[in-house]
A and B are shown apart, each in its own frame.
Chain A
Amino acid sequence: EADIYQTPRYLVIGTGKKITLECSQTMGHDKMYWYQQDPGMELHLIHYSYGVNSTEKGDLSSESTVSRIRTEHFPLTLESARPSHTSQYLCASSEFNGTYQYNEQFFGPGTRLTVL
């Protein structure tokens, strides 16, 4: 099982609150990702990072922000949560070997966010 962790696993919060979803990996992977997944739907990439101090937006527009100050840590922040942010958020990481083409992404268990 991959050594990638997410906390909290479940979060129910009111509209307007600021939240941070934590993601940590102990594999020393340089590349990390955040995905959003709704029930019965495909995963959508919302943020990714090539390494420390690198953050990029993914394909799906998101009001969340991310930071990468340490290799092992890639937190996602919502400044003001809204009901439309209700979803499952999955963090993943992969190792760079000169090309990303064949590298497996290892996923964390996910955070189920519900905004009331």
Chain B
Amino acid sequence: KNQVEQSPQSLIILEGKNCTLQCNYTVSPFSNLRWYKQDTGRGPVSLTIMTFSENTKSNGRYTATLDADTKQSSLHITASQLSDSASYICVVSDRGSTLGRLYFGRGTQLTVWP
């Protein structure tokens, strides 16, 4: 069964600190993996996308890594800001159909305190 599991479920950190969010998936055949940021009451916004051959991708203070062999990904946030408070969702796409089926994790709820 194709699944995406994220940890931790929630995380509280102080402003300026770094943190790392984890994503494990069983989706096969794998196409790509995205990290989305979803602010409360808003739709998800894409942060990074990685294909099978990419190990790391950065977007400002966000750095995503991918290990396709172990089917694991992480999202590292550097020097956190209050505006980073949001849910971070790992989304994996398969290449088994023209639909480009997306499998969503439940997200990690990050809270940054001043």
A residues at B contact (CB < 8 Å)? 1-2, 4, 6, 9, 40-45, 48, 90-92, 94, 99-110, 112
A42 contacts B107, C-beta separation under 8 Å: yes
Q: Which B positions have Cβ atoms within 8 angstroms of A?
A: 4, 9, 31-32, 34, 41-46, 49, 51, 89, 93, 95, 98-100, 102, 104-107, 109
Chain A residue nearest in CB terms to B106: A42
What residues of B have a CB within 8 angstroms of the CB of A94 in the complex? 100
> What are 12 A-B interface contacts by the 8 Å CB criterion?
A43-B44, A43-B104, A91-B43, A94-B100, A100-B100, A102-B31, A107-B43, A108-B43, A109-B41, A109-B42, A110-B41, A112-B41
Among B4, B43, B105, residue most surrounded by chain A Cβ atoms (within 10 Å):
B43
Q: Is the interface of A mostly helix, strand, loop or mixed?
A: loop
Q: B34 near A104 (CB under 8 angstroms)?
A: yes
Task: State whether A100 and B41 are in contact (beta carbons under 8 Å apart), knowing that A40-B106, A42-B107 are contacts in the complex.
Answer: no
Asked whether A103 and B43 contact (CB < 8 A) given A40-B106, A41-B106, A42-B107, the answer is no
How far, in angstroms, from A2 to B44 measured CA to CA in the complex?
11
The minimal Cβ–Cβ distance linking A65 to chain B, given in whole angstroms, is 20
A99 to B41, CA, bound (A): 31
Given contacts A90-B43, A100-B99, A102-B49, 7 further A-B contacts (CB under 8 A): A40-B107, A42-B107, A43-B104, A101-B100, A105-B102, A107-B45, A109-B42
